[in-house]
Every structure is written in structure tokens, then in C-alpha cells.
């Protein structure tokens, strides 16, 4: 159980996205293939992100960084999220190309910077072995920001009276609850730090 193999899990993510592509190819019209792929790879990203949020909420970043297996698991899911998002971006790009739409970075600067940050995060967590105060708050900020983007993309699917998007609304609720879980864990960690400092 402690012997996690990142290449194996990365291969599984790639295979999953290949499955998404070939399923869309056989069930959708040519104009809709990449749109469907982007939607389903986005849902995969949301699931991986939710796992990361629950890890942070349940254990807390300080415990994750103290325990070898939990840290390996945390790094693995961060890496899988980045790999999946590279594929997701490819699907989005191909969909824009298919629809003859322009993918404007300047109009989506916040989203572009978020995309760059999630690609850089695996390198950051593998490089820095210790959880410094700066890294602690950077990780919190990053995951709150990424979750915000996933939530607004889910909410965009909701069209009252046309598409109630119940699955997406449940997803948003789960993400909000997971973020609240993390906030509670942060307060618990801070309280434990204060108690430990008083005992010294």
C-alpha cells in the first residue's frame, strides 16, 4: 500500500482520457466530440480536486507533510491533476478550433494563470520537502482558487427550466463543504500550534 507508483497512475489517467475520447467519437457528432471530451475530462479534474480537498480537510497539511505515505499520496494526486488538466486543455483547444472560436489568453488571464500554477505545483511540492508557512498558505490559496474555477464552470451548466444540471449542483455543494472542512482543519491546526507553544 505504501509503494505508490506514479507512472502507473499517470498511465491510468491517460487511458481514462483516451476512453473519454473514443466514447465521444462513437456517440457524438463531429462538431461535439471535443466539447464532450472537455466536459468529461473536466469532471475527472473535479473528482481529483475533491479528493485533494478531502485529504487536506481530513488530515490537514501539517499532518500530511509529517507522514511519508500521506505526503506521497498528496503529491501523486497533485501530479495526476496536472496531467489530466494538460489533456483537458488539449480537448478545450481542439473544441475552440472546431467551433472556429478564438482562445484569448488576455480575456481569460486569471484562468490562464491558474492553469500555469496547477502545472507548476507538482514541481513545487516535489522540490520543497518542508511545509514552510509560505508554502502552507500558497497551497491553501491555490486549492481555493482552483475549486472556484471548477465551481463556476459547473454553475455555467445550470440553465433554469432547460438544464437543471443536478449533478453539477451536487458537485458544487460537495466542493463548498470540502472547503469548509479545510477551514475548520486550519483552525484546529492553529489551535494545536498555540497549545504546543504554550507548553514549551
Model pLDDT for residues 21-67, shown as the tens digit of each residue: 999 999 999 889 999 999 999 999 999 999 999 999 999 999 999 99
Q: What is the pLDDT of residues 102-160, one digit of tens each?
A: 888 888 888 899 999 999 999 999 999 899 999 999 999 999 999 999 999 988 887 77
Considering only CA atoms, which of 126, 158, 157, 121 is closest in space to residue 141?
121
163 phi, psi to nearest 5 deg: -135, 105
Contacts of residue 49, defined as CB under 8 A and 6 or more positions apart, other chains included, come to 81, 143, 146, 147, 150, 175
pTM of the predicted structure, to 2 decimals = 0.91
Q: Are 33 and 61 in contact (CB under 8 A)?
A: no
Are residues 154 and 45 in contact, defined by beta-carbon separation less than 8 angstroms? no
Q: List the one residue out of 83, 50, 69, 74 whose CA is nearest residue 154.
A: 50
For the record, the C-alpha cell of 126 comes out as 516535489
Among left, alpha and beta (phi > 0; psi -120 to 50; other), residue 60 is: left
Would you tell me how many other CB atoms lie within 10 Å of the CB of residue 70?
A: 17
**Euclidean distance between the first and final Cα of the chain, in Å?**
36
Long-range Cβ pairs for the range 36-43 (8 Å, 24+):
37/91, 37/94, 37/95, 38/88, 38/91, 38/92, 38/95, 41/17, 41/84, 41/87, 41/88, 41/91, 42/88, 42/150, 42/153
pLDDT at 162 over 70: no
Amino acid at each position: 500500500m505504501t509503494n505508490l507508483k506514479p507512472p502507473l497512475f499517470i498511465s491510468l489517467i491517460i487511458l481514462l482520457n483516451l476512453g473519454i475520447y473514443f466514447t465521444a467519437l462513437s456517440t457524438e457528432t463531429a462538431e461535439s466530440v471535443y466539447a464532450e471530451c472537455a466536459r468529461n475530462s473536466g469532471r475527472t479534474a473535479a473528482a481529483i480536486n475533491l479528493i485533494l480537498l478531502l485529504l487536506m480537510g481530513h488530515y490537514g497539511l501539517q499532518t500530511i507533510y509529517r507522514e511519508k505515505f500521506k505526503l506521497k499520496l498528496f503529491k501523486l494526486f497533485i501530479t495526476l491533476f496536472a496531467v489530466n488538466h494538460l489533456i483537458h486543455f488539449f480537448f478545450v483547444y481542439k473544441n475552440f478550433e472546431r467551433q472556429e472560436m478564438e482562445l484569448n489568453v488576455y480575456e481569460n488571464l486569471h484562468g490562464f494563470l491558474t492553469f500555469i500554477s496547477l502545472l507548476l505545483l507538482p514541481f513545487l511540492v516535489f522540490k520543497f520537502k518542508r511545509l514552510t508557512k509560505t508554502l502552507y498558505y500558497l497551497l491553501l490559496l491555490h486549492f481555493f482558487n482552483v475549486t472556484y474555477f471548477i465551481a463556476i464552470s459547473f454553475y455555467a451548466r445550470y440553465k433554469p427550466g432547460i438544464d437543471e444540471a443536478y449533478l453539477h449542483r451536487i458537485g458544487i455543494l460537495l466542493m463548498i463543504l470540502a472547503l469548509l472542512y479545510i477551514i475548520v482543519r486550519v483552525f484546529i491546526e492553529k489551535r494545536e500550534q498555540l497549545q504546543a507553544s504554550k507548553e514549551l
